């Protein structure tokens, strides 16, 4: 069972549009912010991954909008890894609007691991280990 990370985000005024709720592209910023939190809960930051010479660019992005979120709403973005392959991985997302308790959006992103050559590379064991870690693990290790 994949472990889930939750990231709370407050909707900015600049993220709304004239329809009065958050513009659809902003969810992909929020997904990214949740991925960052997911990494940190496993004891590393995506920034460190890049400093090691690896990148995880998005190769597929998908969102389904079932409800709205408004300015100043707190949302919770739930994120987990739903699939791991040799050189790629998939994150799934659920956005819950705290003011209603409803899941307003679901989505996923696919990422390919790239080295400094900007070519897909098989995940080295140490990267796979970082990514497969349980949130609790990195805290209990000495």
Q: From the CB of 92, what's the least distance to a second copy, in Å?
A: 14
Q: Which is nearer to a second copy, 11 or 123 (CB)?
A: 11
Q: From the CB of 1, what's the least distance to a second copy, in Å?
A: 27
- What are the E-state strand segments in the chain? 5-10, 58-65, 74-84, 88-97, 102-112
Sequence-ordered list of residues with C-beta below 8 angstroms from that of 123, at least 6 positions apart, any chain = 86, 87, 113, 131
Q: Which is nearer to a second copy, 45 or 122 (CB)?
A: 45
Q: From the CB of 137, what's the least distance to a second copy, in Å?
A: 21
Sequence-ordered list of residues with C-beta below 8 angstroms from that of 37, at least 6 positions apart, any chain = 5, 6, 7, 79
Q: State the residues that interact with a second copy by CB under 8 A.
A: 10, 12-14, 16-21, 23-26, 28-29, 32-33, 36, 45-47, 50, 55, 57-66, 70-72
Q: From the CB of 58, what's the least distance to a second copy, in Å?
A: 4
């Amino acid at each position: 069972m994949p472990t889930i990370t939750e990231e709370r985000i407050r909707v900015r005024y600049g993220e709304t549009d004239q329809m009065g709720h958050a513009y659809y592209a902003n969810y992909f910023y929020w997904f990214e912010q949740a991925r960052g939190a997911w990494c940190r809960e496993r004891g590393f930051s995506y920034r460190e991954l890049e400093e090691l010479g690896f990148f995880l660019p998005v190769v597929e992005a998908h969102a389904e909008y079932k409800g709205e979120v408004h300015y100043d709403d707190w949302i919770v973005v739930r994120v987990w890894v739903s699939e791991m392959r040799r050189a790629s991985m998939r994150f799934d997302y659920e956005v819950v609007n705290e003011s209603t308790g409803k899941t307003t959006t679901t989505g996923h992103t696919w990422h390919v691991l790239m080295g400094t050559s900007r070519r897909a590379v098989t995940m080295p064991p140490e990267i796979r280990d970082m990514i497969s870690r349980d949130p609790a693990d990195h805290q209990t290790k000495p």
